[in-house]
Every structure is written in C-alpha cells, then in structure tokens.
Amino acid sequence: MAKKTQTGKGLEKAQGIGNPVRKRLFTVKEAAVYLGRGDYGMRELVWSGEIPVIVGPRAKKQYLDIVDLDNYINKNKSFCK
C-alpha cells in the first residue's frame, strides 16, 4: 500500500510556509519555554522587573515581547575562560 503524501496547502501549512508573520508576543508559559526556564522562574523575572510585560485587556493576561526576551539573553551572555 502506497503511503499518502501531503501536497498543496496541507504541506505548506505543515511547514509553516503559508504564514510569513512571526509571532511577537508570548504568554508567560511560552516565554518560559523560549528562555528554557520554568514558569515560576519566568514569573520571578517579570516580578523583579528584569523583563517588561504587556498587560492584556482587563489585566487578565500578561504578554512578553520577543524583542525583550532576546535583549535579556544578550544582556546576560558571558564567555567562559
């Protein structure tokens, strides 16, 4: 039996080709995964003011800008000797 392959829009969607817009705002959980931290560790960075947040409508959700996450990474880089 021949294996079915994806063609057309299905393949483009699977490969992410159809959506050229990159996600810019992450939830706290998504930002934690991006930085390789736990949820609580990510919240500590927010609470301490090391990473700014964007508060969603009616202050129910917090979002983090990927630019701020990348700046945090660059600021905390160090070289081992």
**pLDDT (tens digit per residue) in 34-47:** 999 999 999 999 99
Residue 74 is predicted with a pLDDT of: 94
CATH of domain 22-75: 1.10.10
User: Residue 37 is which amino acid?
Assistant: R
What CA–CA distances, in Å, run from 70 to 31, 39, 51, 66?
11, 18, 10, 6
Distance CA 20, CA 5 (A): 23
Q: Which residues of the chain have pLDDT under 50?
A: none
**Model pTM?**
0.68
Q: Residue 62 forms beta bridges with which residues? A: 55
Show the CA angle centred on residue 38, arms to residues 80 and 81, nearest 5°: 5
